[in-house]
Structure 1
Amino acid sequence: MTSTEVHDGNALPTVETARKLGVLPEEFDRIREILGRTPNFTELSIFSVMWSEHCSYKNSIVWLKTLPRDGERMLAKAGEENAGLVDIGDGLACSFKIESHNHPSALEPYQGAATGVGGINRDIFTMGARPIAQLNSLRFGNPELAKTKWLVKGVVKGIGDYGNAFGIPTVGGEVFFDECYNTNPLVNAFSAGIVEVGKVAKATSYGVGNPVFIVGSATGKDGIHGATFASEDITDKSNEKLPAVQVGDPFMEKLLLEATLEIIETGYVIGIQDMGAAGIICSTSEMSAKGEHGMIIDLDKVPTRQSNMHGWEILLSESQERMLVVVEKGKEHIIQGIFDKWDLHCAQIGEVVAAGPNDAGRLHFYQHGALIADVPAYDLVLGGGAPQYHREYREPAYYQRFKQFEISSVPDTSADELTAVAKHLLSHPNIASRRWVYEQYDSMVGTANRSTNRPSDAALVRIRDVKRPDYSKGIAMTVDCNSRYVNADPFVGAQIAVSEAARNLTCTGAEPLAVTNNLNFGNPYVPEVYWQFVQAVKGMGAACLKFGTPVTGGNVSFYNQSSDDGPVFPTPTIGMIGLVENPEHQMTLDFKETDDLIYMIGVAKNDIASSEYLYSYRKVKESPAPQFDLEEEYTLHQGLKTLIQQGMVQSMHDVSDGGLFVALAESAMPRGLGFQVSTDKNYRTDAFLFGEAQSRVLVSVKPSQQGAFQKLLGADLKLAHTLLGTVTAKDFVIDSATVMTTGEAKDLFDNSLGKLMA
């Protein structure tokens, strides 16, 4: 391993070779400039994956840097570690992140979704955090199509089988259907874990002579060029790239979790990183660049499960359940012993070397005694020498057209039509219960889920601390985005996505802390698509700044489009966590007792824009985003917190998809209750009941507390509020007319999605 001549047995690549690997001609020229020569095929393959959008964020990073990233609870800089990390007090921190596995799931939904779950959990436990809960955000096409049903069933089973076997509860999420996702489903996976503040592991490498280990599963040919595959449009030929889809093993991951936490506990781990996108080359380059050191790696020492693998195949493989670990020299036997105990591969494949006089650290990869790649780590990575582009963007023609919508062009809902609209909404797959989905997930493993039998707007999980058995704080978490709103107005829609996430946490009794995001868009080279991206980032940033919820990191997924369906709706999924300090402040959405008073807090509006009612019942596809004011939303949240802390309300539920009627139904059904309410004749009936204007929350109040409740809202908090009616023993009654029975509503709501999938 002393040769200085780089050779991989292939003819030197050309510009055409680079193009086929997703490398632009100008990028090929830049690579030659960096190396001082033409790269060989292995080196070009390295640059192609590391400079792909999936790894380098080359088309998005200039805008991601504008997001608020600082906060008093932030313990890791955004995007610099395997996952975000925030201080939750008492010497504990929460690590959390969301990532996509869209393209793999479009071709092989079971493994695509399963390995997405595996990958996001590895990001959490490589921080030294034990995962406590998972969420997912799923988007599919027309649910009537056979292909959509195949995708839904495969994705849901993949998530369930992997998460259930791994032993981490799936506690919530969202599912949305629209024809724009016919070809490109979106599969976004979220995970959160808890770690002691002083025991956080870093994704770095330093210390000359420190050994480098690959641990976990053996390396195969699955997932090769997966990062490049995720950085291009889905086409008719995408099925030819099935080898780019990884294969997961949740039982192996469970062993890897325990072994990883055990080696971190020794204190001898210098750095550790999950091998996700781009595999070995990604982990070696990112850790080396961060630690400003280099590495010498012998690929012959990598455990493989297929014979005669080329060096570039070993480097780029995205085989699952693997980690790269840099260990303190002299402690190799301790680390090896731990992995032997867990019956996992643990092979030393190299060592850390000093940076050269003219670089921050180089990576030297050998195979069969020959140097097959010599590349500078810094020039490969995000924040280093990877390219960063300011792409052209242009407002799409539809944007102004959507704004021309007039509510007067749509007939109001008549009294005779109320039942038909109600049944349509409660049975619609975008609103109906996800029971068919979540019954395939284990939500109770670990017995920490506080929301299984206490329904709330966000999931709530108890923080377990073995040193303090009576510890009672909880982490609330949610994933939110109404992509129809974002498509109508990306700036406003992204603000609403952040605000609804915060509103869900607030309505659960939590204080919102921080955000991770998954930005799903079409092709960034299309100016209209890039405009959507830029506006969404601006809107997201404004809302996060207002709520004091910094962005800890996340994922960008471009190229979610096809020649047949065009781009998907812009979908900036917001994952947000909050802290419930006092379990007595946990708030649920279900009505509790008959004769309790039902109030709406917030202001009703004559607005049906972008509502499910307008879109799917009235079949009007073009309208602006719902009316929204960020200051009004923020003021509402502060008042809601006061109501909860003073014990003024029995239940609390945000008004969102489906409007006020759906919020009433969702609050009544859990305990088999009903409601009797009156509409406000100052507004159209459809706007009042089915419109989705923001900044509104439904609460129930004991009659004995009505006076104190109204005084607090009016005189002290100065929040608009309307008495709608009362909780009843049965039936949904609006303006003295029975719209439907509770039993009818519950049957539609609980079973419609399952029947559709059958």
Structure 2
Amino acid sequence: MDKETIKAHKISDEEYSKILEILGREPNLLELGVFSAMWSEHCSYKSSKKYLNGFPTKAPWVIQGPGENAGVIDIGGGMVAVFKMESHNHPSYIEPFQGAATGVGGILRDVFTMGARVEANMNSLRFGDIKGNEAVNRYQRYLVKGVSGGISHYGNCMGIPTIGGEISFDSGFNGNILVNAFALGICKKDEIFYGRAEGIGNPVIYVGSKTGRDGLGGAVMASDSFNEENKSLRPTVQVGDPFAEKLLMEACLELFKHDYIIGIQDMGAAGLTSSSFEMSGRSGSGMKMYLDKVPMREEGMTPYELMLSESQERMLICAKKGCEDKIKEIFAKWDLDAEVIGEVTSSGKMELFWHNELVGEIPIDPLSEAAPVLDRPTKKPAYLDEIKLDNLQCATINTMKNQEAFERILKDEHILNKSFVYDQYDANIGTNTIKQPGHLGASVMRVKENNCAIAMGMECNTRMNFVNPKIGAALAVASSGRKVAMSGATPLAITDCLNYGNPENPEVMWQFAQGCEGIKEACKELNTPVVSGNVSLYNDTDGVSIQPTPAIVSVGVNEDYTKTLPSVFQNENTAVYLVGDTKGIFAGSLYRKVVEDKITGTLVEVDYKKERALWDLVISANKDGLLEFANSVGIGGVAMTLAKMSCNAGFGGEFKMLCDDSRDIFDESYSRAIIGVKDEAKFKEYLHKFGLVWQRLGETGGNKFSINEVSMSLDDMKDIYFNDFVKIIKDEK
């Protein structure tokens, strides 16, 4: 095998030596392609695996943790929730509409292949700087439009509601946007399916759409940095067909009603290669596949292309022998291909045939067991020493009045209402959505089968992760759980999508290692284990890596969906409380970014006992009917949290916050909530019981908003909040 071909497949000299050792000979091109895909960063986690070990993954309510297509938790009444989050970052930068659309399609398959009907989508999105008329700013606005269009297209066509998410912007993402897709499904506890292939002689059946050349090499592309040469690799981006996937989902759900199959696996990254090797590897089996039997939509396709294509809307099934015709009948009913392309063997090898000629033979276990686990060097980033002392208290005291600061922060794209994006999503398909985009806080859906509510909180503050990768990651876990708790639900588990830069950079690996430690610590202390997830590395362009972005979705359950707690003001004259300590934390804050154009400072450690106490306070007080609303204090601090609640409610309030520093209305201390109280006397008993600091801010009502010396008419505030984002995106100002 010539060196140029090996290099083109991103195989190192050490890895090639290992391939020679496994095979006992030189690989052919097909075999090299299989190793390249399976040992890519995207599929093998070779740089990250070391740090993922030790994640808390077990609890009495966890039915399936990491290692399957998606995680599964018990939600009561014989029902389970199946969920996962994955990235589609590189494809979405190259071709935003199809990249985002197929990201949604891929995560949907991960969930319904477990036997669950998908009931909800969410998305975590990061873009670069969208303000300004430079080419990069215009391109970022194009990406926002393309990504949101792709998400809405796929979800809406599938008939699955997109009920929430998050979106943020920073010039650090100019060269690499992030598109992380989350999906959650529901099924009966005794009807979960797994991705395995076992039983000698059992048939292997390909179902779904035909295979083409689109997406060829996608897993390898996703495991490389961007540069001018590969930014235009559109052929590596898959093309999605949501209508075909809708048929595939319905056909699979009908199939699951019968006792016809042993296992089923989505053909995701690396397509037929990963699905066949993963199914065999989980069972210690071998497999023969006859690639000329794979349904093809293009002429002249080769075994190499068939194994590595990432065409969408496809599944691989290990069926029970004798059930082939019944399975074909189901898929024919839904106008989908279903072809027997192989069988399970006891050889422990993957044997690939082309018109009855053996064209590839690879041992299955050694391919996965000998996959590289790299111990990359780590080094604390030099920038951290430069920024850690630059706290607000130490910085030159700016002369900007709070009124001006409030108006500037209100106009920041992070605060502005994103209805331009989420209005494209149908959030109400299925009639189970209780809280949807624009309602602030966690998204919530009803489960009709047991009358519970499932709350999903998505969170990651990239600026705080930049300032301190460990605390920032821990805060993503805590903040996502807090969103869930503020809806009245008990957080039970998380899924993650760990987005970082180039792992070959020791400073990036240090950030990643620290982020994993933060997640481990927070999940353990808060009792929210990790049940599924994804790692996305090489998010860098021309040597510039993104801010660390460990996106987290916390999933929780409220046993009574009718007691879902709103996140915005509900009535006038309601007492408003701030619960939690205000400590003057401005490190990584929006205030510093907007007012001083800095991302600097030192974060304090998370007090997990106070965090959990806040959750338990709201959950228990809500069960007793004491609360009217609750909302986690987020970016922009108390001032911006109240302002957004006022705008969404349609009435304001005059609030007074006790501060050590007048700017503390913008501070971003953790473990705090704004709570609307019906019965103040009883609520104070709860505050005493849970040992939390509090202050009464005032009452809701009126057509004016004020906090301390800051004030604005509600009409003016709403005009900015609801209209300015669309003006930015549409270049109207």
Please give the range of the TM-score, normalised by the shorter of the 2 chains. Answer: over 0.9
> Which structure 1 residue ranges, 5 or more long, are not aligned?
1-12, 356-360, 466-470
* 2:59 equivalent to 1:83: no
TM alignment of 1:154-173, pairs within 5 A: 154-173=146-165
User: CA separation in 1, counterparts of 2:711 and 2:232?
Assistant: 52
Distance 1:399 1:738, change over 3 A: closer
Give the partner amino acid of 2:728.
L
1:666 corresponds, among 634, 644, 654, to: 644
- Deviation, 1:233, is 0.1
Give 1:434's aligned amino acid. K
Shift of 1:452: 3.8
| Counterpart for residue 381 of structure 2 | 396
SS of the residue aligned with 1:395?
coil
Q: Whole-Å Cα distance in 2 between the matches of residues 738 and 388 of structure 1?
A: 55
Q: Name the counterpart of 2:254.
A: 262
Map 1:489-638; keep pairs closer than 5 Å: 489-563=468-542, 566-625=544-603, 628-638=606-616
Partner of 1:35: 23
Partners of 2:467 and 2:587 within 8 A in 1 = no
1:649 is displaced (CA, Å) by 1.9
**How far apart in 1 are the matches of 2:105 and 2:423?**
20
CA deviations on 1:365-409 (whole Å, 9 max, x unpaired) are 11133211101122233xx23121121101111112221113234
Equivalent position of 1:487 in the other structure: 466
TM-score by length of 2: 0.97
Q: What is the SS of the residue equivalent to 1:188?
A: strand
Matches within 5 A, 1:156-555: 156-355=148-347, 361-381=348-368, 384-410=369-395, 417-452=401-436, 455-465=439-449, 471-555=450-534
Contact 2:437–2:443 at 8 Å: present in 1 too? no
State the distance in 2 between where 1:232 and 1:318 align. Answer: 17
1:751 counterpart residue number: 723
| Distance in 2 of aligned mates of 1:225 and 1:642 | 51
Alignment partner for residue 685 of structure 1, among 624, 641, 662?
662
Contact residue 65 and residue 530 of structure 2 kept, 8 A:
no
- CA drift of 1:151 comes to 0.8
Displacement of 1:456: 4.7
Contact 1:97–1:190 under 8 Å retained in 2: yes
User: Is 1:710–2:694 an aligned residue pair?
Assistant: no
Please say which of residues 285-294 and 667-676 is displaced more in the overlay: 667-676
Q: State the secondary structure of the residue aligned to 2:424.
A: coil
Distance 2:609 2:437 in 1: 34
Q: Deviations over 1:239-264 (max 9, x none)?
A: 34221110000000000000011112
Is the contact between residue 15 and residue 25 of structure 1 (CA under 8 Å) also seen in structure 2?
Answer: no
CA distance in 1: counterparts of 2:238 and 2:28, whole angstroms? 26
What SS class does the counterpart of residue 211 from structure 2 fall into? coil
Specify the alignment match of 1:734 in structure 2.
707
Name the SS of the counterpart of 1:265 in structure 2: coil
Q: Is the 8 A contact 1:609 1:626 kept in 2?
A: no
SS at match of 2:538: coil
Shift of 1:87: 1.2
Q: Secondary structure of 1:297's match?
A: strand
Asked if 2 retains the 8 angstrom alpha-carbon contact of 1:675 and 1:727, the reply is yes
Q: Distance in 2 between matches of 1:56 and 1:433?
A: 39
Match of 1:333, SS? helix
Please tell me whether residue 16 in structure 1 is matched to residue 8 in structure 2. no
Contact preservation (8 Å) 1:248, 1:321: yes
TM superposition shift of 1:626: 6.1
Partner deviation per Cα, 1:441-464 (whole Å, 9 max, x = no partner): 110111110114993510001113
| SS in structure 1 at match of 2:402 | helix
Task: Return the letter of the residue paired with 1:433.
Answer: N
Shift in Å, 1:678:
1.6
Structure 2 counterpart of 1:393, one-letter code: T
Q: Deviations over 1:615-674 (max 9, x none)?
A: 122222322336632332222222222222222221111111110011111222223111
Aligned-partner residue type, residue 468 of structure 2: D
Task: Give the whole-Å Cα distance in 1 for the aligned partners of 2:453 and 2:657.
Answer: 37
Identity %: 40
Q: Separation in 1 of the partners of 2:683 and 2:612?
A: 20
Q: RMSD of the alignment, in Å? A: 1.5
Counterpart amino acid of residue 545 in structure 1:
K
Give aligned pairs, total: 725
Contact 2:457 2:480 in 1 (8 A): yes
Instruction: Give the 3-state SS of the residue equivalent to 1:238 in structure 2.
Output: coil
Q: TM-score, normalised by structure 1?
A: 0.94
What SS does the corresponding residue of 2:570 show, helix, strand or coil? coil
Q: What is the alpha-carbon distance in structure 1 between the residues aligned to residue 718 and residue 461 of structure 2?
A: 24
The answer on whether the counterparts of 2:164 and 2:437 sit within 8 Å (CA) in structure 1 is no
Query: Cα 1:738–1:70, aligned 2, differ >3 Å: closer, same or farther?
Result: closer
DSSP-derived class of the 1:743 partner: helix
C-alpha separation in 1, matches of 2:96 and 2:620:
44
Could you say what secondary structure the match of 2:122 adopts? strand
One-letter amino acid of the counterpart of residue 398, structure 1: Y
> Is residue 454–residue 588 contact of structure 1 (8 Å, CA) maintained in 2?
no
Task: After TM superposition, give the deviation of residue 411 of structure 1 in Å.
Answer: 6.2
Does structure 2 conserve the Cα–Cα contact (< 8 Å) formed by 1:456 and 1:507? no
* Contact 2:97 2:150 (C-alpha < 8 Å) held by counterparts: yes
Q: Which residue of 1 aligns with 2:14?
A: 26
Cα offsets for 1:106-126 (capped at 9, x unmatched): 100110000000000000000
Q: Secondary structure at the match of 2:62?
A: coil
- The residue that corresponds to 1:142 in the other structure is 129
Tell me the distance in 1 between the aligned counterparts of 2:173 and 2:531.
Answer: 28
Alpha carbons of 1:368 and 1:107: their partners in 2 closer, same or farther (altered >3 Å)? same
- Quick check: 2:211–2:306 contact (8 Å CA) kept in 1? yes
Q: What CA distance in whole angstroms lies between the structure 2 residues aligned with 1:391 and 1:640?
A: 43
Output the CA distance in 1 between the equivalents of 2:435 and 2:106: 25
Q: Which residue of 2 aligns with 1:4?
A: none
Q: Deviations over 1:681-733 (max 9, x none)?
A: 4x1111x211111111111223xx2222223312x222110111221222112
Deviation at 1:18, TM superposition (A): 1.6
Does the CA contact (< 8 Å) of 1:412 and 1:685 recur in 2?
Answer: no
Kindly indicate whether the alpha-carbon contact (under 8 Å) linking 1:281 and 1:315 is maintained by their aligned counterparts in 2.
yes
CA contact (8 A) 1:456 1:587 kept: no
Check whether the contact 2:391–2:602 (CA below 8 A) recurs between aligned residues.
no
Q: Which letter does structure 2 place at the counterpart of 1:698?
A: I
- Mean alpha-carbon deviation: is it higher for 583-592 or for 121-130? 583-592
Give distance in 2, aligned partners of 1:689 and 1:23.
53
Distance 2:635 2:662 in 1: 16
Q: Which amino acid aligns with 1:322?
A: R
Residue in 2 aligned with 1:7? Answer: none
Deviation at 1:537, TM superposition (A): 0.2
Secondary structure of the 1:636 match is helix
